[in-house]
Amino acid sequence: MISCCMIMQYGWSTGDDSNGVHLMPKEIFPSSFECDCGHQSDFSENTAREIKAMSQKKRVYLADAAPEEHTIVFYRGKMVEIQCPKQPQSRETQRSATTSSLPKRSRTKPGIPDEVKTHVEAAVKQFNTTEIRDPHCGYVPRYRGKFLYLDRQDYGRFQPICRLEYTGNLQEWSFAIYKYSDERYDEEEWFFPGVEHVDGTLEGAMQAGLEAYPS
């Protein structure tokens, strides 16, 4: 259970070098974070672990309980910034609360380009050969619009493992694990074996799926 802190899951914060806001924070094992001003924020290991899991798809803000409150920013399972009260906020941070409440324009994302599919086929084949190493088992990709579905064949039986969404960057696929309990892909589920491998890459997704659903 997360306690003694405040979590905010909205908005974006980007350092601004010209204003001296870009901090050089440091993570101290196992669950402390030090600002460049010298302030250290301490959390429980469970809190740090849960927040990192929650930040896989969006930035999550974790504020400590100190009088001079510092906010730790996490994204893709890592600490990426510390917002320090002794530093002026960047223009982006000041606008974050406003822009997060504005309606987003709907955008139609194109399907996955053929050259990306070629890369996917090669990456899947390589993973099957080097990691699974069983001619009767392996990942099988299929596509629907902007989505890449990674199924796995186990001795003639196909089973869904995960779904990836193409974002335009081969290193930043959005991930959703398949939940057999609900019979659907769930992009909000981040508590399963292998979640630490989810890093936006195809290889990370396949490794996560292999641990979540062993052959």
Segment 140-165 shows an average pLDDT of 93
Same domain, 27 and 87: yes
The pair of structure tokens assigned to 18 is: 């010209």
Of all residues in the chain, the percent with pLDDT exceeding 70 is: 76
Question: Does the predicted TM-score (pTM) go above 0.85?
Answer: no
Same domain, 139 and 202: yes
- Checking 3-7 for CB contacts under 8 A at 24+ apart, the result is 3/44, 3/47, 4/43, 4/65, 5/43, 5/47, 5/62, 5/63, 5/64, 5/65, 6/62, 6/63, 7/51, 7/54, 7/60, 7/61, 7/62, 7/63
Q: Answer for the pair 112, 118: CB distance below 8 angstroms, yes or no.
A: no
The domain total for the chain is 2
Determine which of 32-41, 86-95, 99-108 has the lowest per-residue pLDDT on average.
Answer: 99-108
Q: Considering 101, 130, 160, which residue would you say is the last residue of a domain?
A: 101
What is the structure's pLDDT at 50?
76
d(CA 75, CA 59): 5
Segment 183-209 shows an average pLDDT of 94
Same domain, 90 and 158: no
Same domain, 90 and 155: no
**Integer CA distances (angstroms), 61 to 77, 120, 179, 202, in order:** 12, 33, 27, 27
Segment 176-196 shows an average pLDDT of 92
Q: Considering 58, 75, 101, which residue would you say is the last residue of a domain?
A: 101
Same domain, 95 and 154: no
The more confident residue out of 83 and 120 is 120
Same domain, 118 and 197: yes
